[in-house]
Amino acid sequence: MKYYADPFGCAKNNVDLENMMASLDEAGWTAAADSSDASLIIINSCGFIESAKQESINAVLGWRKLYPGKKILLAGCLAERYAKDLAESLPEADGIFGNSGDLRAIVEAAARATGTNPVKKDRSHTEPSYDTGNRPLLSLPGLAYVKISEGCDCACSFCAIPLIRGKMRSRSIEDITAECKTLLDRGVKELCLISQDTGAYGKDLRRSSRNSNEINLPALLQAITKLKGDFHVRMLYIHPDHFPMKILDIMESDSRFLPYFDIPLQHASEKILRLMNRCGNAKIHLELIQTLRSRFPDAAVRSTFMTGFPGETEDDFQQLLDFQEEAKLDWVGCFAYSREEDTQSYAMKGRVAKKTAALRKQLIEERQVPITEARMERFVGRTFNVLIEEEFKNEEENTITGDDNLYLGRLPFQAPEVDGSAVITSTKPLTAGTLVPCKVFARTGFDLQVRTV
């Protein structure tokens, strides 16, 4: 029995898929390197915004057209949010498997889809699993994502995450650190701590604990400092409205915590932020950014903006442009508003035309290019540890280009998949998944040219 996994969506979704793969492997399935060898295609879908939903549905249709005789299982966020509707409207899928319950039940779902007999598991004395450090990793060599909580309590008016993932549910510090240790023992060099709301970690656990002050993100980071080894820790998705300032003290005392701050601000207009059910304003956000940069000279600050939210006027958008120019963020991702049913903003008045939202998004992206390039320029001439990800080969000759060995990797201020890359030149072969000291000698667009030292 072989399956082929087709992942969509965010890193959190990929961690779910990794855990599903671990359960399938334990039950006797084998991951196929090529889809043609598999009897089951598993599409781990995204259901966050309209374009992502359509992409996942198109994947089902595409796989069905390519393999009329194979079985297809639609899993993930889209399957969770629209399970009943998809079961009726998408006959191309042989099964639907959401992600709100015990992910180990993927074994039974795969059995139903393929008509095989599942390996029976006694789960009467165990809780549904979150993550295991022994799971297959879909990330690039040397990197692993560690999901510290599930769900979200923020109730941003545009966001469907609570509808899909539910309320926030944090893992215990002991469980997380045990997973981190297992991953480090496997040779992982960068741990990315992720959740829907990383800064709020432990809030749900504090409600039922007598030691309410001991379960939070600073406490988790303090526990991670006790782990041995040469590795990096990167934190992603910290909501600006409850940024835990105490983590800065821990980060200053342990350089393994990268000064990389992923803070989804969404907007700068106070009016739009209130409509989004968010606090803060441009002044408060700028003060936070300045604090981070004053305490960490090499701090990289990444954010996400949204254009076209209901009620966004030209003046609101100009406030966002002004903020972008003043903040000079290292990295910015931008999305046009997606009207999602059952969210608070779905029925809001003052809807912005899709074309207008798209043009505003394009303008944000164009204006960010010179800002990011200038921010990257400050690293030229500096030496950093670089995570080697893969060897760069000449596509035509399939040989290493030039006299030197070329590799792709990431510097501390480059998060996986969303930021620029490091092009590494080395006179000796390097191993993917290792940290190597390199000196930055040039910048090409967003990417940096480095050489081993």
Of the CA atoms within 13 Å of residue 20, those in its CB half-sphere come to 31
The structure's pTM equals 0.91
- Residues paired with residue 384 on neighbouring β-strands, in sequence order: 438
Which residues fall within 8 angstroms of residue 369, CB to CB, at 6 or more apart? none
Which two tokens mark 307?
């254009």
Can you give the pLDDT at residue 282? 97
Which residues fall within 8 angstroms of residue 295, CB to CB, at 6 or more apart? 248, 252
Q: DSSP per residue over 233-275, as a string?
A: EEE----GGG--TTHHHHHHH-TTEEEEEE---B-S-HHHHHH
Can you give the pLDDT at residue 119? 59
Can you give the pLDDT at residue 205? 87
- Phi first, then psi: what are they for 82, rounded to 5°? -125, 40
* Rounded CA separation 242/156 (Å): 14
Can you give the pLDDT at residue 213? 62
Can you give the pLDDT at residue 211? 55
Low-confidence ranges of the chain (pLDDT < 70): 118-131, 208-213, 394-403
Of the CA atoms within 13 Å of residue 184, those in its CB half-sphere come to 18
Model confidence over 393-427: pLDDT tens digits?
755 544 444 558 899 999 999 999 999 999 999 99
Domains of the chain by residue range = 2-114, 143-377, 383-452
Can you give the pLDDT at residue 400? 45
Task: Tell me the one-letter amino acid at 59.
Answer: A
Can you give the pLDDT at residue 398? 43
Can you give the pLDDT at residue 174? 93
Contact 168, 196 (CB under 8 A): yes
* Rounded CA separation 282/278 (Å): 12
Can you give the pLDDT at residue 127? 44
CATH 2.40.50.140 fits 2-114, yes or no: no
Nearest by Cα to 267 from 352, 147, 203, 377? 352
Fold of 383-452: OB fold (Dihydrolipoamide Acetyltransferase, E2P) (2.40.50)
Of the CA atoms within 13 Å of residue 169, those in its CB half-sphere come to 11
Contact 49, 20 (CB under 8 A): no
Q: 143-377 is classed in which CATH architecture?
A: Alpha-Beta Horseshoe (3.80)
